[in-house]
Structure 1
């Protein structure tokens, strides 16, 4: 019986509280945190020319593993942006707000609104995602991109972040 209770406790681990964030990226009222995932991976940039004709590194896509608070792999983050859980569920979104990271060498903090879902599982009811506590991930200096010599060259810049997944209040939190 004790083993069964222990398994049940792990399945419904304590849900983190809403993080304190700038107002611009606060999740909508009526949503609650379902769970937090710790991401570790890379922001992938491509060398080319910007609209102004100047050399620049442009974001191609993120590529990161998502882990729970105990360090267990729970999914992956990729371009779109999208998040795929180990249970097969997936959510894709669109960034609707951003604030600069307190660390100038780190990518901005974001509020993302879900635009589509696949599968049935942990990400099925997700409506908003926050990316906060970023570390790294900024593009290389523009001077290192020469489109005449390196057009299409990719640079993988390591980054870490916390992602908070929200759903309408009253949904059972799971990860």
Structure 2
């Protein structure tokens, strides 16, 4: 737990730099959302949660279970990101997504960048109500691989990312 807290603090200190970089980030071809424009970009700080499970070969390995993150804009909490995957804004609007494209993170420890099609809207008319695509970019940390010792064990790995919410033009 102490490692997660330290890593979270380091990621939080870099959050302002990452937010500034989001507007200047080159989006890989696999994540481009043609004919769509950004509605909102939120920075996320949290954890990727993994569970120890038997893989297809019968060996125990860490399997991704769910994200748990706080969403920020200008250093203020404005929402949360959780299993589904879902993104919930403080105005009550919620979107759920399904992965459509991936690109590798900057380092071996970074979770992939993603393009997710929005497959559900809930919570009425809010900032996310017209969103059709979500891009996860500028990832830092969050990756856990390899064997584990006990089935059913959980491990959380701190991560940060920017989520760009887009809608049709």
C-alpha separation in 2, matches of 1:96 and 1:19: 19
Which of 21, 25, 36 is matched with 2:31 structurally?
Answer: 25
Q: Which runs of 5+ in 2 are unaligned?
A: 1-21
Give the aligned CA root-mean-square deviation in angstroms: 1.4
Which of 121, 130, 135 is matched with 1:130 structurally?
Answer: 135
C-alpha separation in 1, matches of 2:97 and 2:23: 22
Q: Counterpart in 1 of 2:167?
A: 167
Q: Given the superposition, is the C-alpha separation of residues 94 and 18 from structure 1 closer, same or farther in structure 2, using an over 3 Å criterion?
A: farther
Residue 142 of structure 1: how far off its partner (Å): 2.0
Which of 87, 96, 110 is matched with 1:92 structurally?
Answer: 96
C-alpha separation in 1, matches of 2:167 and 2:50: 31
Question: Normalised by the size of structure 1, how large is the TM-score?
Answer: 0.80
Tell me, yes or no, if the aligned pair for 1:38 and 1:66 is still in contact at 8 Å. yes
Q: Counterpart in 2 of 1:3?
A: none
User: Which structure has the greater CA radius of gyration?
Assistant: 1
In the comparison of the two structures, how many residue pairs are matched? Answer: 147
Q: Please list, as runs of the form range in 1=range in 2, the aligned pairs for 1:42-61 lying within 5 A after superposition.
A: 42-61=47-66
1:63 aligned to 2:72?
Answer: no
Where 1:102 maps in the other structure, the secondary structure is coil
Once the two structures are superposed, residues 82-117 of structure 1 have per-residue CA deviations (whole angstroms, 9 ceiling, x without a partner) of 100111110000000001112111000000000000
Q: Given the superposition, is the C-alpha separation of residues 19 and 127 from structure 1 closer, same or farther in structure 2, using an over 3 Å criterion?
A: farther
Displacement over 4 Å in runs of 4+: none
Q: Counterpart in 2 of 1:102?
A: 106
C-alpha separation in 2, matches of 1:52 and 1:92: 32
Where 1:142 maps in the other structure, the secondary structure is coil
Q: Which runs of 5+ in 1 are unaligned?
A: 1-15, 170-175
Once the two structures are superposed, residues 46-93 of structure 1 have per-residue CA deviations (whole angstroms, 9 ceiling, x without a partner) of 01111221211111100000001x111110001111100111110000
Q: Please list, as runs of the form range in 1=range in 2, the aligned pairs for 1:134-173 lying within 5 A after superposition.
A: 134-139=139-144, 141-143=145-147, 145-146=148-149, 150-169=150-169
Once the two structures are superposed, residues 20-42 of structure 1 have per-residue CA deviations (whole angstroms, 9 ceiling, x without a partner) of 11111111x22100110000000
C-alpha separation in 1, matches of 2:106 and 2:46: 20
Residue 19 of structure 1: how far off its partner (Å): 3.9
C-alpha separation in 1, matches of 2:25 and 2:53: 37
